Structure 1
């Protein structure tokens, strides 16, 4: 699953980078930010998607917590943007998940997709290494599982 979600986030970032000139307008459609704020939000989301997507692709077995928190933060921001715009009845003609590519209007399907990303983020957080766990403890646990 890490490879699938890593590829998804990397593809999202690629589509948004390829259509970066339109991303501030897409962010503005959600009704929370305008102008420089919309550009900054777009940059933050793209950077987060790149970091977590490439990390999950390059190191799918890693239990490092940092890319998991980045993945989670991006999922939370997208979900908050979508939910608040949907509740307010804003007409978001392109959710912006892939920039101008694979455009879909904001609707309940997008909300479900965001919910699934949040669910997966929770699973990633749960599976991530606990701060006090050492490699030797992991090795012993692995031996006992076999």
Structure 2
């Protein structure tokens, strides 16, 4: 539960920073050398939406066993990590990694890669926990256990 609260806070902060920098996000993502113009704008919108979904879900329902926000978090983490690793491997200079839009900027370097690796590790941990929880709940989905059933 604590991990979900921390990740919810970080994802929400990332999304807020990116929304506040929304006009600059296509250029920020373009610095990674894979997408430019309209495709970069679409990628920015997808990343922001994903961060908002998992951030809000983790904060609002940290005990939830729903798998969708976990998969969204994993996809967003994989996308940011993929962008960073390929740009770093190609020796591109990325002055602003874009994680928080134009706020809390970091140049793409090995500390950013470590942060991305940790995000992927957290995604794996969340996915393993979600899969284990789903397996223990059985084929009925766990409603009888009252895990995701609202109480009056």
Question: Please, what TM-score do these two structures have when normalized by structure 2?
Answer: 0.88
Partner residue in 2 for 1:143: none
The runs of 5 or more residues in structure 2 that have no matched partner are 147-152
* Superposed displacement of residue 130, structure 1: 2.2
Partner residue in 1 for 2:125: 123
Partner residue in 1 for 2:80: 78
Question: Matches of 2:96 and 2:9 in 1, distance apart?
Answer: 21
Question: Matches of 1:55 and 1:65 in 2, distance apart?
Answer: 11
* Count of matched residue positions in the alignment of Structure 1 and Structure 2: 139
Task: Report the secondary structure of 2:24's partner residue.
Answer: helix
Is it true that 1:49 corresponds to 2:51 in the alignment? yes
Partner residue in 1 for 2:18: 16
Higher helix share: 1
Question: Matches of 1:112 and 1:54 in 2, distance apart?
Answer: 25
Is it true that 1:39 corresponds to 2:41 in the alignment? yes
Partner residue in 1 for 2:142: 135
* Superposed displacement of residue 111, structure 1: 0.2
Question: Please, what TM-score do these two structures have when normalized by structure 1?
Answer: 0.91
Question: Matches of 1:14 and 1:136 in 2, distance apart?
Answer: 34
* Superposed displacement of residue 138, structure 1: 5.5
Task: Report the secondary structure of 1:20's partner residue.
Answer: coil
RMSD over equivalenced CA pairs, Å: 1.5
